[in-house]
Amino acid sequence: MCELFGASSSVPRGLSPWLVPFRARGGEAADNPDGWGIAYWQDGDPKIEKSPEPGCNSAHFRRVSESLVSDLVIAHVRKARHPPILSLENTHPFVHLCCGRAWVFAHNGLVAELFDQAAANPSCSPLGATDSEFAFCQLLAGIAESYTRDDQHSWLPELNRLANGIAIFGKFNFLLSDGRILVAYGHDRLHYLESSAGADRCALIATEPLGDDGPWQPFAAQELRVYQAGELVVSHRLERPLLENLVPEQGMQR
């Protein structure tokens, strides 16, 4: 299955203790050989490095995982399911513009039935053919009216509602960022690790715990957690998660 890694920190920091084992999950320690990608921010703009090759074999991903210093990161290793086509356009993370900002998104799961339930959104056209990027555009279209640059938290309840709605169509774990905050939605399989020492704070998100720095904690079913500079600023949980509505698990992950 695909896997996610994210980091939000109060200061730029080296992430090799977690990115190095995460890279190994791109076809060596786990069965995700169909592409890798990583997004990080410099001077407010996202920088995307990705390739439709196994992460474990990529010399470029090795260099990035060993040397990257950043305070905001989203990374992904892919198991191609929908569609099972290896291409740069189908490799996560994806980036689209909305509300005057560049947004980055990566997904684990399968929401292919969303194609049949939602019309294409002219304001955000996927460049690839994945259900993941289609869902990304649906999220951006849904939050556009409530998102404001002056009050960055006002749109989060609407995002949470949209994520819960999309989750009905399959499995929907994702990381999302507008360059200031890190949004993590754990539908059924996501973990977090938080640390703080005075003003120095860091939050890590991963599909499976990475490294030896426990204790990683599992997300509740359909839990939304939002971090800014390593600090948890918003958390939403469903009282009655919609897991009973999931489609059967045949070929479910991508």
pLDDT at 106 over 50: yes
> Higher pLDDT residue, 239 or 159?
159
Average pLDDT over residues 54-58: 97
The pLDDT confidence band at residue 79, using thresholds 50, 70 and 90, is: very high
Q: Which residues contact 204 (CB under 8 A, 6 or more apart)?
A: 5, 6, 7, 18, 192, 193, 194, 210
Taken in order 24, 71, 140, 169, the sign of the CA dihedral is positive
**What proportion of the chain, given as a percentage, has pLDDT over 90?**
75
Element at 59 (helix H, strand E): helix 59-67
Range in 87-101, 147-161, 234-248 with the lowest mean pLDDT: 234-248
DSSP H helices, 87-200, are 114-117, 131-143, 156-167
Cα distance between residue 94 and residue 113, in whole Å:
20
Placement of tokens 């999950």 in the chain: 25
Question: What's the order of all strands across the beta sheet hosting 231-236?
Answer: 94-98, 101-110, 171-177, 182-186, 223-228, 231-236
Model's pTM, two decimal places? Answer: 0.91
Closest CA to 253 of 102, 45, 99, 109: 109
62 exposed, middle or buried (CB, 10 Å; 0-12, 13-18, 19+)?
A: middle
- 188-236 confidence digits (pLDDT tens): 999 999 999 888 999 999 999 998 767 999 999 999 999 999 999 999 9
Cα distance between residue 43 and residue 196, in whole Å:
24
Helix/strand/coil percentages in the chain, nearest 5: 20, 35, 45
Cα distance between residue 95 and residue 39, in whole Å:
9
What pLDDT was estimated at residue 245? 38
Closest CA to 72 of 175, 144, 157: 175
Domain boundaries along the sequence of the chain: 3-245
DSSP H helices, 105-223, are 114-117, 131-143, 156-167
Q: What are the φ/ψ torsions at residue 146 (nearest 5 degrees)?
A: -90, -15
Greatest alpha-carbon span in the chain: 49
Average pLDDT over residues 139-167: 87
Cα distance between residue 5 and residue 23, in whole Å:
10
Cβ-contact 22, 36 below 8 angstroms: no
What pLDDT was estimated at residue 232? 96
Range in 26-35, 109-118, 162-171, 192-201 with the lowest mean pLDDT: 109-118
- 157-192 confidence digits (pLDDT tens): 999 999 999 999 999 999 999 999 999 999 999 999
Q: Tell me the average pLDDT of the chain.
A: 89
Q: Which residues contact 207 (CB under 8 A, 6 or more apart)?
A: 1, 2, 3, 4, 5, 108, 173, 189, 190, 191
CATH for 3-245?
3.60.20.10
Element at 75 (helix H, strand E): strand 69-77
Average pLDDT over residues 95-99: 93
Cβ-contact 103, 97 below 8 angstroms: yes
